[in-house]
Each structure stands twice: as structure tokens, then as C-alpha cells.
Amino acid sequence: MESPSPASPTAGHIRLTSHPGQGTATGALALNWGAADPQVRGPVVGTTANRSQRNVIGTHSGSYGVYRALAVAAGNLVRGHRADLTNTAPTDIVGPYPQWLDARKMVSIDPWGASVQSVFAEQLAMGYDIRPTIAVTKAHIHLPEIKQALAFQRLAVDGRVLLEDASATVTKVAVEPVWWLPGVAARFKVSEAELRRALFEETGGMYPELVTRSDLEVFLPPIGGQTLYVFGDIRDLADPKVTLTARVHDECNGSDVFGSDICTCRPYLTHAIEECIRGAQAGGVGLIAYSRKEGRALGEVTKFLVYNARKRQLGGDSADKYFLRTECVAGVQDMRFQELMPDVLHWLGIRKIHRLVSMSNDKYDAITGSGIEVGERVPIPDALIPADAKVEMEAKIAAGYFTEGLVPTDVELALVKGRGLE
Ligand SMILES: [Zn+2]
């Protein structure tokens, strides 16, 4: 059967891979998750160009795959375009580390995803459409908070980590999720069949192979990935003797980018960056791991609905009803599920975080539960908490957030009030 022409993508028949024998009949390379030798492990092939090569469910770049579909539908992108990977190799080599070989420790990232250009050069030359799922590059970042830290002499220019123009030098890494379904199911303590069925049904039946192709164990989910910002030498992350300052931060567009004052996300993030720079300057290394999980992975529409519900409820926004209002709208308090978060730390070879810039008990439990030692926990300084964010902060402390101070009582929580809508 011929592929439809790019100008008329709906012409011809659609090839389904939902039945065995059609998708991987010829040409698909075996995937043996957790195998020590990458040649035995095999490359992740999620191409839409040549279906016979596919050995996973789903496609690359998560939700951006839909934009790719639009580009094909509009005739802007030639169907079957293969990426030219010339000069795209990582600026810094990460690993391999022993953690990569523990299939149960690395269930949501392809550890070889950054180095397919070299590790799978032979298969690429044979015509396999293999894409990196991780990219490593260098950057300078300019932040007003860091400029301010220099002005107040909390930080000093050293010409290596922090430059004369107040920019910080970083290695940054973009990571796309690659889920090994048996391992993800085990992490959530459910059966693989239950996980596959829920994924199939809750995506509106978008991926039939989830339920028809149990032989395909790897899924490229249509969700956002992670970005890592490393201050200092990325290889030092794997050395437990080098002091590591780290924050694992979940996306909050309203605060992170636009400075909305209802939460502490940006102030805590920039405080962590300042701590990372200070640590790297003192001979250590710093890491910000940023996950695209907007609004506790509930999305921004739900988040804004909750803001309204909080501020319009009888008595106004108060800390004692903070979690209740989220649960009323979303059905849960939080959908971030930190279970998969430590994978990226293991990918970096991390065994010890000396200074964890986070008060989240969920994150702390996930990190330590995965076998990484945590030393000190660094809270956000009180002076950085916006007035309207007190509601969130006190509610979280009452619910188990790390604090060096007192945990508020129910009566005290009811007295912590936020601003009204007007
Ligand atoms: Zn926030």
C-alpha cells in the first residue's frame, strides 16, 4: 500500500497497528528494557514514517505530535520527514551509570535517549528512523532575581558560574518521557493490564495498541517532559563527595513566568537557582529539575477554576479549605504523582542530594524511597512568600510540608486568609 501524498493526507487507507503482525511484522528491532548492552537493549523507534520499524506505542515529542499532525494535514510538513542529526550530539556526556541497568529504577526515561546518534549509529545508517528523546546543550541564563542577588552582594561574579553581565552558565537538558509499562505499573502498585486499560480509556481510546499489543512494552505518552538546568560540571552530579544543591520543581506558568502572587513557585525556584549558583561557586554542583506538570498536573483551566472557587467561597479564601476546593473541582488534591520523578535523578547518576531546596514531603519521600540520600532540606525564606500565597503555604505545612517552625492548628489555619477577587 502506498503512503498518501502529503498534500492529501486523508487519501488512501489508514494503517492500523492495533493487530499483531501488521506493526512489527518486518524490520522492527527488539527492545529489551534494562539490558546492560545498548545493542541488546535496542533503540526506541516511535517513527510515524515507517510503521514496520515501530517497536513502541505512541510517538515522539508527547503532545507536540498533534502539532506535527496539523503540519502534515496542512501540507507544511512532508510526511515521513527524517531528522538530520548532524551536529546534534550532546555537549556533555552523561553516564552510563549503574542505575541505568536497573530496569525498575529507570521506567520513565530511555537512558540511551541522549546518545542514539553514536550508540545506534549502525541502525541509523541502516535506515532506522531513531530519534533522541534527550538533548543536552549549553546556555547562559539571565534572571532579574540573580541580578538583585549580585546587587545585594548575596552572590559575587566568579567568571565561571556567574559572569560579569550577571548571567549564569548552565548545561541544560531536555528529557522526553519514555515509559516502560511493566515498570510504571509496578511503581504505582497496579497490574500492567489495569494500567494499560486506564491509559487507553482515559485518552479516549487514542492508543488501541495499549490493549491489543501486549508485546509492545514501551509507550511514548502525550505529556510534557522535563528540563534540567545544571550549574557546574554535570558529571559531578554522580559523585556523592561533591556537594549537590538541587530542586525538583513542577511547572507553574502563572508564577514561574508571569509572577502571579497566589503561590510561591517562582520565588522558590529563583531562590533555588541562587542556592545552586552559590553551591557551584563553592566547588559543588547545582541542579534544577523542572517538570511540565502544570497546576499539579491538573492543567491551568482547572487551576484557575479552583482559584475562583477558593476566593468566592463563604468566608473567602482560607488555608483550612485550600485542599478541599481543589478536590471539589478536580476530584483529587493533586495529580503530580512523584513516583516517576526520581528516574531523572538516577539517570544523572545521583546518589546523594546534600541540600534539597524543597519542602514537599511527597518529593522528599519519592527521592529517599528510590534510594537517594537527602541531607539538609532548604525551606523558602519567609521574606520571599507573597502575602496572597500564605494560604497555600500554611495549608501545605499543615498537610505535612517540611517546616522548621510550628505546624498550624485547624483554628489557626482558618485565620489565614487570601485576597478577594476584586
Ligand atoms: Zn504556583
Q: Ligand 1 centre from 272 Cα, in Å?
A: 15
Q: How confident is the model at residue 331 (pLDDT cuts 50, 70, 90)?
A: confident
Report H helices in 356-416: 361-369, 390-398, 410-415
Active site residue 336: yes
pLDDT of 10 strictly over 60: no
Mean pLDDT of the chain: 91
Report the predicted TM-score, pTM, of the whole model to 2 decimal places: 0.91
Q: Ligand 1 centre from 266 Cα, in Å?
A: 7
For the stretch 369-421, pLDDT in tens is 999 999 999 999 999 998 889 888 888 998 888 888 889 998 888 888 888 88
Q: Ligand 1 centre from 253 Cα, in Å?
A: 7
Active site residue 334: yes
Q: Which of 336, 351, 355, 377 is catalytic?
A: 336
Strand 57-58 and strand 218-220: the pairing is parallel
Element (H or E) spanning 4, and its range? none
Q: How far is CA 342 from CA 179, 199, 226, 339, in A?
A: 14, 22, 12, 7
Cβ atoms of residues 392 and 298 within 8 Å: no
Q: Ligand 1 centre from 251 Cα, in Å?
A: 8
Q: Ligand 1 centre from 263 Cα, in Å?
A: 5
Strand 244-250 and strand 168-175: the pairing is unpaired
Q: Ligand 1 centre from 255 Cα, in Å?
A: 5
Q: Which of 334, 343, 355, 377 is catalytic?
A: 334
For the stretch 195-235, pLDDT in tens is 999 999 999 999 999 999 999 999 999 999 999 999 999 99
- pLDDT for res 387: 87
Rounded Cα distance between 260 and 258, Å, is: 6
Q: Ligand 1 centre from 301 Cα, in Å?
A: 14
